[in-house]
């Protein structure tokens, strides 16, 4: 588990800065635009898909699941993803194709 570094100045992101990357896609030190590598895009895309589909899947399996439990599951999954996401970020200087 390793936090990302800037492709341009090799600045090592701090945890809070990598979370901010989700909103501001620029290096906090040199201001260069950071793009996700294809590999890293997959690693961050898969948990996002899980968050969207797993709760729906669970509800169709356990039909008696209440709406409150559904929301709780979504929030827990979201927090887990947010906590681990920065470690799967990897930056490059140009936009790479998704696959």
* Closest to Zn ion by CB, 6 or 51: 6
* Closest to Zn ion by CB, 25 or 71: 25
Stretch 20-49: interaction string toward Zn ion, x if CB under 5 A: -------x-xx-------------------
First to last CA, the chain: 23
Q: Show Cβ contacts of residue 18 under 8 Å, excluding neighbours closer than 6 positions.
A: 3, 4, 85, 86, 87, 89
Per CB under 5 A, residues contacting Zn ion are 6, 8-9, 11, 27, 29-30
């Amino acid at each position: 588990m390793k936090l990302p570094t800037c492709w341009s100045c090799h600045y090592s992101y701090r945890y809070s800065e990598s979370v901010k990357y989700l909103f501001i896609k620029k290096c906090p030190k040199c201001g260069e635009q950071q793009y996700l590598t294809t590999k890293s895009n997959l690693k961050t895309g898969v948990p996002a898909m899980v968050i969207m589909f797993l709760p729906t899947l669970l509800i169709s399996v356990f039909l008696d699941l209440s709406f409150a439990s559904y929301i709780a599951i979504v929030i827990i999954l979201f927090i887990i993803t947010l906590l681990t996401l920065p470690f799967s970020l990897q930056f490059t200087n140009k936009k790479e194709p998704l696959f």
